[in-house]
Chain A
Amino acid sequence: MKDRRPTNIDLNSLRAYAFPLPAVTSILHRISGFALFLAIPFLLWLLDASLQSEVNFKEVVAFLDVGVVKFFLWLALCGLFYHVFAGVKHLLMDIGIGETLAGARLGSWIILGLSGFAALVLGVWLW
């Protein structure tokens, strides 16, 4: 019987392909999603401590002011905003907006632009 299951391209052979922009934003969507999953315990711990008492809340605020911690928080928030923007593009494409090749390219530029802007605003807000 012929195997009708879809096959995946070997990861190592991916280097032979030229990546169009929508492919780059798509893989970034995946990477940011996985990174956000890794950030969940960090964020839950912050939420937990910040709601326990006034003392803990102030400790959390002070902890988030440490340079490295603030950078990781910024990174996580940038990832979150990118993932949301790329997700909204998915939803728009589900209802038929931006499904053409040109539309997909434009959409990719828009989510990159919005994410860059969000990263800038978050940076100004945090520092």
Chain B
Amino acid sequence: MVTNVTSLSRNGLSDWMIQRISALVITAYVIIIVGFLVFCSEGTYVAWHQFMMSGPMRIFGVLATLAIAAHAWIGLWTIATDYIKPACIRFVFQWVCIAANVTYVLWAWRIFWSS
């Protein structure tokens, strides 16, 4: 089996599984937000704030961001190992991707739990 130290779980099958479970979480989150915008939204700040900052949606928001970070990392890792051949450029690219994903998770945490 080919293992790669920069893969998320160092295991292709686990990456495959994480990619799919995170995809389901993100899709569910997208469906809920689209459903709110289509069926429940009055287009006001109060309605939007109440909905997004309700307990379940705060938790779901952080969960979705974690899922996006893992999902994006696996996709970006695949793209990087497919197209970027020089190892040093690939590591820089991967480092930037990881830093960005960690920043987004912390940012989302601040959005949902700072107030």
Query: Which A residues are within 8 Å of any B CB, using their own CB?
Result: 5, 8, 11, 30, 33-34, 36-37, 40-41, 44, 47-48, 50-51, 53-54, 57-58, 61, 80, 84, 87-88, 90-91, 94
Contact = CB atoms under 8 A, between A and B. Distances in A.
B102 interface: no
A51 B76 contact: no
A57 B44 CA distance: 9
B82 A8 contact: yes
Given A58-B45, A91-B20, A84 B30 contact: yes
Q: Is the interface of B mostly helix, strand, loop or mixed?
A: helix
Contacts of A80: 30
Interface of B: 2, 20, 23, 27, 30, 43, 45-46, 48-49, 52-53, 68, 72, 75-76, 79, 82-83, 97, 100, 104, 107-108, 110-111
Shortest 8 CB-CB contacts between residues of A and residues of B: A57-B45, A54-B45, A33-B75, A37-B72, A48-B111, A87-B23, A44-B107, A40-B104
Contacts, number: 56
Q: Is the interface of A mostly helix, strand, loop or mixed?
A: helix
A41 B104 contact: yes
Given A57-B48, A91-B20, A94-B20, A47 B111 contact: yes
Contacts of A51: 48-49, 52-53, 111
B20 A34 contact: no
Given A37-B72, A41-B104, A30 B79 contact: yes
Contact of B107 (A37, A48, A53, A87): A48
Contact of B27 (A30, A41, A58, A87): A87
A61 B48 CA distance: 12
Contacts of A57: 45, 48-49
Nearest to A40: B104
